[in-house]
Amino acid sequence: MNFEYDDEQEALRDSVKALLGKAYGDFEQRRKAVDADPGFDDSTWRRLAELGVLGLPFAEESGGMGAGPVEVSLVAEEVGRVLAPEPFLATVVLAGGLVEAAGSDEQKAAVLGPLAEGESVVAFAHLEPGGRWSPTATAVTATSSGDGWALDGVKEPVPHGARADVLVVSAALPSGGTGLFLVDPAGTERSGYAVHDGSRAARVTFSGTAATPLGDGGDATATIATALDRTRIAACHQALGAMSFQLGATTSYLTSRKQFGVTLNTFQALTFRAADMYVSLELARSLTLWATLVSIAGSPEEIADAAARASLQVSKASRHIGQEAIQLHGGIGMTAEYAVGHYTSHLTALEHWLGDGRFHLSTLASCIGDHDEVDPIP
Amino acid sequence: MNFEYDDEQEALRDSVKALLGKAYGDFEQRRKAVDADPGFDDSTWRRLAELGVLGLPFAEESGGMGAGPVEVSLVAEEVGRVLAPEPFLATVVLAGGLVEAAGSDEQKAAVLGPLAEGESVVAFAHLEPGGRWSPTATAVTATSSGDGWALDGVKEPVPHGARADVLVVSAALPSGGTGLFLVDPAGTERSGYAVHDGSRAARVTFSGTAATPLGDGGDATATIATALDRTRIAACHQALGAMSFQLGATTSYLTSRKQFGVTLNTFQALTFRAADMYVSLELARSLTLWATLVSIAGSPEEIADAAARASLQVSKASRHIGQEAIQLHGGIGMTAEYAVGHYTSHLTALEHWLGDGRFHLSTLASCIGDHDEVDPIP
Amino acid sequence: MRLELSAEDAAFREEMRTFFTTQVPQEIRDAVASRRELSKDDIVRSQRILNAAGLAVPGWTVEWGGRDWTPLQRHIWHEEMQRACVPIPLAFNASMVGPVIATFGSQEQKERFLPPTANLDIWWSQGFSEPDAGSDLASLRTTAVRQGDEWVVNGQKTWTTLGQHGDWIFCLVRTDPDAPKKQQGISFLLVDMTSPGVTVRPIQLIDGGHEVNEVWFEDVRVPAANLVGEENKGWDYAKFLLGNERVGVAPVGQTKRVLAQAKEWARAGGVLDDPLVAAQFADLENDLLALELTALRVVAHSADGKPHPASSVLKLKGTVLQQAVSELVVDIAGPASLASGATADESDVDDWARVATPAYLNLRKASIYGGSNEVQRQIIARTILGL
Amino acid sequence: MRLELSAEDAAFREEMRTFFTTQVPQEIRDAVASRRELSKDDIVRSQRILNAAGLAVPGWTVEWGGRDWTPLQRHIWHEEMQRACVPIPLAFNASMVGPVIATFGSQEQKERFLPPTANLDIWWSQGFSEPDAGSDLASLRTTAVRQGDEWVVNGQKTWTTLGQHGDWIFCLVRTDPDAPKKQQGISFLLVDMTSPGVTVRPIQLIDGGHEVNEVWFEDVRVPAANLVGEENKGWDYAKFLLGNERVGVAPVGQTKRVLAQAKEWARAGGVLDDPLVAAQFADLENDLLALELTALRVVAHSADGKPHPASSVLKLKGTVLQQAVSELVVDIAGPASLASGATADESDVDDWARVATPAYLNLRKASIYGGSNEVQRQIIARTILGL
């Protein structure tokens, strides 16, 4: 058992931290980046590609680095720490992860190579208006027409869907089940918009749009579920980075801001609340680290369990820390020019993209009788 | 609309407060009273009878005072304030209330007269081992044998069951439903014991025990449910009295106890927690007062709703205040010779006798879709 | 003790309910119902309709448009307004500067300002907080120096809500920098915002909206006649203003309405059947009921001049519940809440779901502005509990 | 990073599991499982079995019976013990006075005290807290005055857990009343509880049990040889003692076990199907998992001498969860929890349900004793966050 990064991982973290710190260490630069479409900085995206980050989890044959969940997690944490708007989770981890998991060798080479090189943005069009966090699709349907497939229906919100060069789309299959398809967005109608946290999403409408089955075709529900679970675990790390920043900003503010002639850390009612934020953060960190390690070699069921557990803990922590960070800052924490509130906005978006705490709690509650104790060590 | 006691009610409150304050204002006297069976003080019981308190809610024809829920509530609050061990709730409000609601005129005169005069203790044998808070009975069954009825099975815990001179017993009827019976305890086997809060309970075993149907006989589930709901509302008042005491004891302690050379109210983290206790108490008080007023003329459904709402709020408040009162006192709050922990013990007993917060929350959640808003004013 | 309204109060409630649901334009009430931002024009139109019917400033003295209502009637007026999605009369006018001028102002000030204040012909802004004077308001540094029959004002105010619409601003200014206590030497001054030297700069909030502002004063010349009451007594008037209201301290009606709507949204989305969601609704509904009843206890309390101690619970718990309801709405919206930046044309997501997160983020302010929840706890601990 | 245990550690875990489940008498483990109070004899028997196998004091130096285990191995030992319902070796002996004597004691003290301390031939009590020195321990007032080659001790200690069984007591006593700081002038003294002038008085707790005591000292004469380390350095030894442990700070294994049992009780009572109960289980189980993993992070942390900062989370959250689980057990027991004062003969209610509320009430102490949760928050705020 070992919970520390090895030298290679530390080096990767240092590089990513340096790159992102340079890009967004000044929060004003981050505000500028999200102000204009596509909501992130193309040059930072290219630099991440040069560092190998955009191909990190893909096999070397697919043009990637062949790295594992730990490497992905530390990138996500650094992304979260500075709230970097580049769509690492949505594009590399989720959409790329699906292609890596289900695509044919040719598809992997065609999609993941350009993605890893920063030349192509890939998005997963899966969520449906009025739907929640199911791994299945119902509003978009696939029909087979002799030699090809066509999709109909609406996907929304599709994170970074308007900017995407390639869409991975889930659709209800005629035979039942949910299939995955590659779609050229030129055949769709897209309206893109900003999300409250500065990222981008879109409505994507399919009307007899040509689509190519990903890999062998057939029901991909399990593949989607596992890709979502892996993304959830990485998102927990992104949230850890964001919460660490918020706690640090809060303690700095408490030691510097004066009211009633003294700095705020004179008020025990405030410092005790900061201590409780630290407790929430460390508990969330422990469970998230564990989930990442489970996901290295775990079965899909084990990964699903670990993802739900980490997501629940991070949901509780991110609401607690996100709300308290603003409250302990007072008025300044509400303003758009100050960083801390944007982190709260992002944590809220992250949770509602992938599944909120109550959703994961219900999942865990429904199987509470299946086991006596949880033994974290295999 | 008016939330204030009238002069007569104030006078009643003053008399009860004076009587109970004299009996138990010194907590050592209360400890003595609960140390020996029957767990309360016979002379205080008699004095309560002289004051009319033991017949308060019964019609004058039944030997009572013909008072309403408001009068009952203010007695309960004073009982809770000093943790008086006399079984006002169990005997007068619940067991007596059932006889008043369902008994024949003769039964009322026979049972309620002596109860009001302090000569007879009546107990309701209803809870069953392994059961929860249903208004029905299953473990004790009633069979009709020609000219009479006989009961078989076990009731436990029966509050004050060992001391009782008369038992009101719920039992499953051969025709379905739950009936109510009057039973002479001499025909039962009883083992009595102390409850953690100093009150008394018993296991009561029926073996072909002779029983007289209360009133007309037949299914009394609705009668039992309403009697339980009325008792719950009175119990909320008893809890308010207890929580008021705990908050007062805590603020006194914070202003007098010194640590680190200063009194504890110097520590803002502690005073803010006392403020939160006050918020919990006042919210619980508002909802409980309302429930009492609803119960004056409300339908059984309205009383059930009001009782669940008040009980939920009081459950949250009593856990919050009961736990914080001990924590803010520190070690001394854990000791049996200090009052504050006994109040926590009593609040826990009260809630688990009549239905815990989660039970009431489930009830309210199950009908959340039946209405848009709750309008408290009829 | 009695729960029922008197026949008179019940009739009053019916009258209010009828007025609000029939006399205020539906499009304004729809905007409130869907939690959209109101235009200045909407707010002004609505208040003028109320004022014409004598329903804008009932708490003022009768001479200046007030009504001699009981606190319970004012409570009913206030709740029915929220229930009918009618915008509350602008607080800066109706609850803040109006009562101060009516109580402490000169006859000239009353005649000049009160009628247009009631009718929202003058839109007032509040100039209290400063960058270094938030919870510690008395440490404010904006100065007013007397020159002849004018005051010359210099300094900066902040968190000026809706200051972009402001015609006039009522300010706390330091007129005696040498006063022995910082609460002394402060005066209450009325400033025309079109005066040279007044600059309003927007502050964008984290929900993307522009609701608050900074207001800068550079050598702004203000007639001496615009000082309210006595010089250097401004702190007393500010305390009067902040402690003036027994009614409407907690946004009960509005929060109840949003919770009731959220039930509909949850039902439509199929999540009201989720036992954990249903339990959360039941718990919040119960807390809100307790809060509403606490507000009723406070207003029904026989007026011996002193405020009912439980009134300090109202702001604290009121904002906590308002925030909790807004959080639940985001959870009900789920992934649809990401469509927050879309217009109706760009999105298939329902309106309410698109504003869910911005509303949640915006309401984080509720426990900060107007006396933070930490200040409320301090008041309870000190004033009520004697700690 | 790696989650799996090494082959060596996995074998170690298996060895511990086998030992604890086969070598400690079933009746003792059953008593722990049903949360009954253990007799002194049970505790002594169990510890002697462990000690005979070298499993009572693994954290001590090897010379005195310790094992050269890694922190992870000590963690495994500790968790497996709790999992198997084996009583933890008496903390006063194994984790407190033993390490202090081993580190700061004289050779004579080591030889005289350590073997019987490990074997529980001496039952130690702790004499730290006083009526006016709780969280503010350094303000203690019990004095020891040197007379010839003896110390004369006067004063009162309190909250002495299981002091009724005590053979000896280790005390903090004030030996220099004139020291400039209250933390100075305190010494660490070992006192034979059979000495004339020592009186132990029981303190009954709210659960009805007798677990803690007052200990009075009236002119108790203690040989000078019983002072540990240097005179007036006792505060340092106390800090060492309290900050000594990385392992077992939070009662993880025990709380997990109770929660797992509670699931069975809930299932048998038909309430595990209640979605709100199931959700409470899932939430607590998840928090406990996070706590256990935090404990593992702390023990797996490469030992650079400094404790891992997250270790201060363990006591705080550990007690909160222990209390929350005990609260849930009361709710599962429901009305049966009222049968708390009945013997098995007198009641048809299950054992576990009868002890549910006394256990809940007793565990309120967990967040008070041994450094209250307020003290823990203070440590986190100051030491880790720099506030």
Which chain A residues have a beta carbon less than 8 Å from that of B271?
269
Nearest-CA residue of chain D relative to C276? D276
Selected for mutation to probe chain A from C276, C284, C348 (highest A CB count within 10 Å) is C348
Beta strands in chain B (DSSP E): 122-125, 141-145, 148-159, 166-172, 178-183, 188-194, 200-213, 258-259, 262-263
Query: pLDDT tens digits for C192-229?
Result: 999 999 999 999 999 999 999 999 999 999 999 999 99
Q: Which among B49, B181, B34 is positioned nearest to B119, based on CA atoms?
A: B49
CA distance C370 to D260: 48
Mean pLDDT score of chain C: 94
pLDDT of residue C304: 62
From the centroid of its chain, how far is CA A42?
19
Could you tell me where in chain C the CATH 2.40.110.10 domains are found? 124-232
Could you tell me where in chain D the CATH 1.20.140.10 domains are found? 249-383
Delineate the domains of chain B, giving CATH numbers in brackets: 7-120 (1.10.540.10), 123-219 (2.40.110.10), 222-370 (1.20.140.10)
Residue C241 — very low, low, confident or very high, per pLDDT cuts 50/70/90?
confident
Buried-exposed string D79-97: b where 16+ CB fall within 10 A, e elsewhere:
bbbbbbbbbbbbbbbbbbb
- Structure-token pair, residue A47: 């630099």
- Per the rule left: phi > 0, alpha: psi between -120 and 50, beta: everything else, B217 is left
Helices (H) then strands (E): counts for chain C: 14, 8
- Structure-token pair, residue D278: 């199931």
The length of chain C is: 387
CA distance D278 to D282: 6
Query: pLDDT tens digits for D68-105?
Result: 999 899 999 999 999 999 999 999 999 999 999 999 99
Is residue D140 within 8 A of residue D172, CB to CB? The reply is yes
pLDDT of residue D249: 80
Q: Which among A175, A344, A312 is positioned nearest to A247, based on CA atoms?
A: A344
| Count of Cβ atoms closer than 10 Å to residue C303 Cβ | 12
Q: Which among C234, C154, C161 is positioned nearest to C196, based on CA atoms?
A: C154
Which chain C residues have a beta carbon less than 8 Å from that of D280?
none
> Shortest CB distance from B157 goes to which of D327, D339, D368?
D339
Is residue D203 within 8 A of residue D214, CB to CB? The reply is yes
Q: Which of D80, D130, D211, D245 is catalytic?
A: D245
For the cut 70, the answer to whether the pLDDT of residue C82 exceeds it is: yes
Query: pLDDT tens digits for A62-106?
Result: 889 999 999 999 999 999 999 999 999 999 999 999 999 999 999
Task: Return the bridge partners of B201, or none.
Answer: B159, B193
Task: Give the pairing of strands B122-125 and B166-172.
Answer: parallel
Nearest-CA residue of chain C relative to D279? C276
- Structure-token pair, residue B125: 């044998």
Query: pLDDT tens digits for A257-277?
Result: 998 889 999 999 999 999 999
CA distance B88 to B45: 9
Residue A266: burial class (beta carbons within 10 Å; 0-12, 13-18, 19+): middle
Rounded mean pLDDT, C43-68: 95
CB contact under 8 A, D336 and B159: no
Q: Which among B205, B164, B210 is positioned nearest to B183, based on CA atoms?
A: B210
> How wide is the angle at C-alpha B289 spanned by C-alphas B73 and B329, nearest 5°?
80
Per-residue pLDDT 10s for chain B (378 aa) are: 899 999 999 999 999 999 999 999 999 999 999 999 999 999 999 999 999 999 999 999 988 999 999 999 999 999 999 999 999 999 999 999 999 999 999 999 999 999 999 999 999 999 999 899 999 999 999 999 888 999 999 999 999 999 999 999 999 999 999 999 999 999 999 999 999 999 999 999 999 999 999 999 999 999 999 999 999 999 999 999 999 999 999 999 999 999 888 999 999 999 999 999 999 999 999 999 999 999 999 999 999 999 999 999 999 999 999 999 999 999 999 999 999 999 999 999 999 999 999 999 999 999 999 999 999 998
D80 a catalytic residue? no
CA distance C385 to B274: 8
Residue B256: burial class (beta carbons within 10 Å; 0-12, 13-18, 19+): exposed
Residue C109 to chain A, least CA–CA distance (Å): 33
Nearest-CA residue of chain A relative to C269? A130
Q: Percentage of chain D with pLDDT > 90? A: 89
What letter represents residue B133's amino acid? W
Task: Return the bridge partners of A332, or none.
Answer: none
The terminus-to-terminus CA distance of chain C in angstroms comes to 32
Residue B43: burial class (beta carbons within 10 Å; 0-12, 13-18, 19+): exposed
Is residue D73 within 8 A of residue D246, CB to CB? The reply is no
Nearest-CA residue of chain B relative to C7? B1
| Count of Cβ atoms closer than 10 Å to residue D233 Cβ | 18
CA distance C366 to C359: 11
Site of tokens 């209450």: C188
> How wide is the angle at C-alpha C355 spanned by C-alphas C350 and C357, nearest 5°?
120
Backbone angles phi, psi at B201, to 5 degrees: -145, 175
Rounded mean pLDDT, D223-243: 93
Query: pLDDT tens digits for A125-183?
Result: 999 998 999 999 999 999 998 889 999 999 999 999 999 999 999 999 999 999 999 99
- Domain spanning C249-383, CATH class: mainly alpha
ipTM: 0.96
The fold of the C124-232 domain, in CATH, is: Butyryl-CoA Dehydrogenase, subunit A; domain 2 (2.40.110)
CA distance B181 to B191: 20
Residue D276 to chain C, least CA–CA distance (Å): 7
For the cut 70, the answer to whether the pLDDT of residue C10 exceeds it is: yes
pLDDT of residue B14: 98
CB contact under 8 A, D357 and B132: no
Which chain D residues have a beta carbon less than 8 Å from that of B349?
337-338, 357
Q: What CA–CA distances, in Å, run from C321 to A171, C253, C287, C367?
A: 40, 12, 8, 10
Buried-exposed string A22-52: b where 16+ CB fall within 10 A, e elsewhere:
ebbeeeeebbebbeeebbbbeebbebbbebe
* Residues from B in contact with A at Cβ < 8 Å: 267-269, 271-272
- Structure-token pair, residue C371: 């006396």
Site of tokens 């206590």: C181
Q: What CA–CA distances, in Å, run from A243 to A10, A239, A340, C365, D290?
A: 20, 6, 10, 20, 17
| Count of Cβ atoms closer than 10 Å to residue C347 Cβ | 25
Beta strands in chain A (DSSP E): 122-125, 141-145, 148-159, 166-172, 178-183, 188-194, 200-213, 258-259, 262-263
CA distance B373 to D1: 53
Which chain B residues have a beta carbon less than 8 Å from that of A272?
269
Q: What CA–CA distances, in Å, run from D101 to C186, D238, D259?
A: 66, 12, 37
Q: Which chains touch B (3 or more CB pairs under 8 A)?
A: A, C, D
For the cut 70, the answer to whether the pLDDT of residue D239 exceeds it is: yes
Site of tokens 């890596």: A100
What letter represents residue D325's amino acid? V
What contacts D117, CB < 8 A, 6 or more positions away? D57, D93, D94, D97, D98, D101, D124
Selected for mutation to probe chain B from A268, A273, A362 (highest B CB count within 10 Å) is A268
Beta strands in A260-301 (DSSP E): 262-263
Is the CA virtual torsion A180, A183, A189, A194 positive or negative?
positive
Mean pLDDT score of chain D: 94
Selected for mutation to probe chain D from B270, B358, B362 (highest D CB count within 10 Å) is B358
CA distance A121 to A85: 14
Rounded mean pLDDT, D120-127: 97
Query: pLDDT tens digits for C305-340?
Result: 677 788 889 999 999 999 999 999 999 999 999 999
From the centroid of its chain, how far is CA A332?
28
pLDDT of residue B273: 97
Residue A79 to chain C, least CA–CA distance (Å): 19
CA distance B207 to B191: 15
